[in-house]
Amino acid sequence: MTISIRHFGHWDRPMVGIHMAADGGARPRARFLLCRPLGQEAVRSSAVFRVAGERLSREGVESLRFDYHGTGDSPGDEGAQSLDDWVRDTLAAHEQLLGEGASGGEPPVHWFGMGLGAVIALRAALLAKHPPRHLVLWEPVFNGPGYLQALIAGHKAELAMMFAQPWEQIAASGKVAEPTLPGDVLGFHFGERLVADLCALPDLNVLPALRRGLRITCAVRGDQPHPLAAHAGLSALKLHTVEHPTDWMSSQAMGTAIAPPDIPRVLLATLD
Amino acid sequence: MQEQTRTVGAEGHLVATFTPAQGAPGAAPPVVAVLSNSGVIPRGGPHRINVLLAREFAAMGIPSVRFDMSGLGDSQRSDSTRSVTEQWVADTREVMDAAQAQFGCARFVMVGLCSGAIIGHLVALEDPRMRAVLLWDMYAYPTLQSRLRKLAFKIGRAGLLGSAQKAGVMLLRKLRLMPPDDAPAKPKGEMSVSPPKDEFMGRVDRLTNQGVELLFAYCGGQPEWFNHRGQFAAMFAGQAWLPKVSFELLETTDHLITSGPAKRAFIDMTTGWVRERVVPGAGRHS
């Protein structure tokens, strides 16, 4: 299994990615672009992306996972980003992946996006000159304001766990301050542009992408009605119930890498 | 500042990001900072603290390398049959080799976060190039006062009634008037077990005799484990090395350095220690 590093992106938005070739040096049967979620969720899901890349490689699939500009290991100011910026980053990563390898009989390209990364991927798929064939949306953010509320709640829950006291007690002790947006929440700086984007984020709509000819798999937790259930009859849309629900905003399982096995399984199913 | 990420090590399986120092190109740096995982958190560190530290160090004229140990973050598992701890020590030394070749400096300081602190001090015992280690939330040993404070904290959190109920359940279980708690004990990993105190004190004695600078730093979010400023001197009372090491308690900072002020406090503590004890006179380029 060969990993190598890719430095790519527009000159003012450099990014770092990890490329995994198909195992054994064979010509890949497909390519997968892996789009991370944001902030604490990206940290907590890092094992998911490594394990998915390794599994895909063993199955003859090449992959590229990357950090959007201003996040993870990529350069950039975390607080100066917007959703549109990251959509463009995703398109740049897609171009990078398309440019890998030899020409002639190009293998199909699929995308996997998790959390906010799924929303970004869905938007980017509408703009891509050569769109992906299949889009896997894993626990996508369905509603921007709801996501912002979840971040605030996650921040309080995380610090309550860290200090082993209810939020009200640690707030009263002066150890923590009430989180605000824009601002530092759950360890990451959410700047004005990003917060404005999230406040205005409409409900997730997969129909334009389906009309563009993409196949979509959307995975959500079983403890909520599937927001896309009304479209369940569409042949190009597959709904999946997450088998191992995980709170990606919490470090509760500190010391334990979590990589739910149904993620690589669903990714491999797209190859059929 | 042009960061460079690449794979390093004899197996080529370790992913490391090299951050050069700002200013004075071509001059040999005084020390190279080593940053790595905290538990299973990738090389960017908890809430990206390693990325922020790398930029801060660069402004001080100190290059750094942050990397994922085998099987963590983006690094793949090694083919070796070493134990996890042995492998991560070997990984760190391989990354130091690569950083030495890149930056032309054979002196290292490691910011060891939690499990990274364990690896950092073990590397320093093996490799004389490791000249300083920050030990964040590493081993702590209970003292009489820390036990009393822990008890007071637990009573304060649960309330008198809740505490009395818990004590009652414990008593009934002890008297076998209630079935035992059959919840399985949480498995402890190789990194979660503190060595016997004498053994650890012996290691610190060796390191300080070799001139290795150590900063023992603790967060304020572990009241059941390290809960007051005096605990450090009390748990290592009488040790000849005690005056040679540094100690900090960041009372408003949690273990994973979550909030903005917590990050600032951690960065200030780290850079202050480096300026004072590791590279006296290290400045900040604009």
Per-residue pLDDT reduced to its tens digit, A91-138:
999 999 999 865 556 899 999 999 999 999 999 999 999 999 999 999
Q: Report how far residue A185's alpha carbon sits from residue A180's, in angstroms, rounded to the nearest whole number.
A: 7
β-strand B4-8 against B14-19: which pairing, if any? antiparallel
Structural tokens at position A97: 């992946």
Q: Report how far residue A120's alpha carbon sits from residue A112's, in angstroms, rounded to the nearest whole number.
A: 11
Q: Cβ A187–B13 below 8 Å, yes or no?
A: no
- CATH superfamily placement of domain B4-141+196-278: Alpha/Beta hydrolase fold, catalytic domain (3.40.50.1820)
Q: Answer yes or no: are the C-beta atoms of B251 and A175 closer than 8 Å.
A: yes
Q: Cβ A3–B7 below 8 Å, yes or no?
A: yes
Q: Give me the mean pLDDT over the A175-191 stretch.
A: 94
Q: Answer yes or no: are the C-beta atoms of B102 and B96 closer than 8 Å.
A: no
How does residue A254 score in pLDDT terms, banded at 50, 70 and 90? low
Residue B188 has pLDDT above 60, yes or no: no
Predicted confidence (pLDDT) per residue in B120-173, tens digit = 999 999 999 999 999 999 999 999 999 999 888 888 877 878 878 888 888 888
Alpha helix positions (H), A99-166: 116-127, 144-162
How far is Cα of residue A51 from the mean position of the Cα atoms in its chain? 15
All residues of chain A having their beta carbon less than 8 Å from the beta carbon of residue B223 are 163-165
Nearest CA in chain B to A183: B260
Q: Report how far residue B152's alpha carbon sits from residue B160's, in angstroms, rounded to the nearest whole number.
A: 10
ipTM: 0.90
Nearest neighbour of A176 by CB, restricted to B157, B191, B259: B259
Q: Answer yes or no: are the C-beta atoms of B112 and B92 closer than 8 Å.
A: no
Residue for token digits 């590093």? Answer: A5
Q: Cβ B252–A174 below 8 Å, yes or no?
A: yes
All residues of chain A having their beta carbon less than 8 Å from the beta carbon of residue B43 are 73
Residues forming CATH 3.40.50.1820 domain(s) in chain B: 4-141+196-278
Across-strand partners of B38?
A: B41
Q: Give me the mean pLDDT over the A56-61 stretch.
A: 96
| H/E stretch holding B94 | helix B84-103
Q: Cβ B48–A72 below 8 Å, yes or no?
A: yes
List the B32-35 sheet strands across, edge first. Answer: B4-8, B14-19, B64-67, B32-35, B108-113, B130-136, B213-219, B246-250
Q: Beta-carbon neighbour count of residue A221 at 10 Å?
A: 13
Q: Cβ A251–B192 below 8 Å, yes or no?
A: no
All residues of chain A having their beta carbon less than 8 Å from the beta carbon of residue B74 are 3, 18, 46, 50, 65
Q: What is the pTM of this model?
A: 0.91
